Amino acid sequence: MNRVRALNLLACAKLNLYLDITGRRDDGYHLLETVMQSVSFADVVTVAVCPGGGITLTCSREDIPTDRRNTAYRAAELFMQYSGMTGRVLLDIEKHIPSGAGMGGGSADAAAALRGLNNVFGEPLSEQQLLDIAVQVGADVPFCLVGGTKLCRGIGEKMSDLPAAKGIFVVVKPDFSCPTGEAYRKYDSSPVAPHGGLERFRAALPDNYAPEMYNVFQELYADERIESICRRFMELGARGAMLTGSGSAVFGVFDDAHTAAAAQKEFSGSVLCSAVGEGVCL
């Protein structure tokens, strides 16, 4: 290899339109029933390969680790190991998706690293091989690699297609975070019975799903700060409003862009986005 090969990718955030915990595996991982939707709000990940060896990761945010603690770094390591490719991997992440929000920002970056490296090297790995690596990196990485609208079971790796959810989403990240590990520990100390509303939600897709949305963590937290955002979204014309993932980001579903844009102005730092059919966009 005697030249740099580079690729810019959009690593799309996700929203959980439905999220329930149905059990726990012997290894401690929780079993999920969740419907995830890729949205048009993304980090920008640049993947480059040049002569040499090793991995260098840079990020626009100083609080994001740039070593093996970063999921994109781990994804790149595993890709190079499994593919047998050689070269120095350069990753740069321009962060837009907030951390501690439940929007899959780290998982999206890891998925972009996998997709980008496979593209730069001429696709030495099959889609299934990429998915096998993705699940080793993190539970949400397989979905973020594929994207679209998926029903995800198991720890998130068992995916099936669903009709794309219609509507415009307004997402607000409050001034506090909900670390995923702490969220699941809270669930383990105070389990919530399975909701059992998945089939009603699926039947309501693609148009009328908003009233059937559910998030077990929102019920578990019973946090007035979250509930007040949801109420305000509804007052502003949302068809439904809910926490995504383990939080703390909250989103409202709107029928039209005008109403959504008006609602967005009510929340400082909020974003307006729509459903997209891919997790990583080249």
Based on the residue annotation, tell me whether 158 is a catalytic residue of this protein.
no
CA 191 to chain centre: 24
Instruction: Tell me which of 14, 95, 150, 173 is the catalytic residue.
Output: 14
Instruction: Tell me which of 20, 43, 92, 140 is the catalytic residue.
Output: 140
> CB neighbours of 257 closer than 8 A, spacing ≥ 6?
168, 272
Q: How far apart are CA 44 and CA 104, in angstroms?
A: 14
The torsion region of residue 54 among left (phi > 0), alpha (psi -120 to 50) and beta comes to: left
Task: Please identify which residue in the block is written with the tokens 């496979």.
Answer: 118
Q: Do 241 and 234 touch, CB atoms closer than 8 A?
A: yes
- The two tokens of residue 78 are 């595993």
Based on the residue annotation, tell me whether 67 is a catalytic residue of this protein.
no
Torsion of CA 125, 159, 14, 99, to 10 degrees: -70
Residues labelled as active-site residues: 14, 140
